[in-house]
Structure 1
């Protein structure tokens, strides 16, 4: 079936959303073997990075940081707790609030994870300046899209 030339705006390869989506898929595939060595999925890795930045935060805070719904994080956090990487406890000030704290095992994993960013940098075949510029542009795009929703 021939492509209708009048619908160039609907060609898959002309879509920014597909470029972002397919790049995200490839990025996740590059991360997968690196994270398997740590015993983490990509979403778990993101949660652990937030906790390595700031231990002792609430589920709501980590949800905000990851731009996700707190309810969708609960199963992920329960699995990390079952693996002995963090603890989830109710706040003594407000029992509706769940606080997250890294265990010794969770803190120790940070040392193992330090090699992941260098592996990703190598896979991108970009220099640090190029990667920094690209990240800045993507964050600006994300921020604009966030305002639109």
Structure 2
């Protein structure tokens, strides 16, 4: 279990392990087996990553936090300087692509670590998960 005593420790642990792509249980193993593919289990502590379901969260945060501000900058450049289209093709397009794709992995790691530390699951699915994984009532996915 992560060294979490209070909400500040919890947040620090989520950021540290999630953004670095480390196992949220032990902080040593790797969370990813490829760029955005979450590994099946941690090679150090054996954490089963079947609980991880960040879905479209990384794309949503990347678009909202990065793409929208970049779009405003590109539009401002267009309105203020009216450069030819080739300037946007050479500068704006690569900046938009890199700005949206590069943060996907750290954001996904942050969401997976957050799900683990906060023991997140869909409402009403605890009994089903316990049946699927042979757990007794009240146990968590960390056991």
What TM-score do you get using the length of structure 1 for normalisation? 0.29
Pick the structure with more strand per residue: 1
Higher relative contact order (Cα pairs below 8 Å, separated by 6+ residues): 2
Q: Normalising by structure 2, report the TM-score.
A: 0.30
Q: Which has the higher helix share?
A: 1
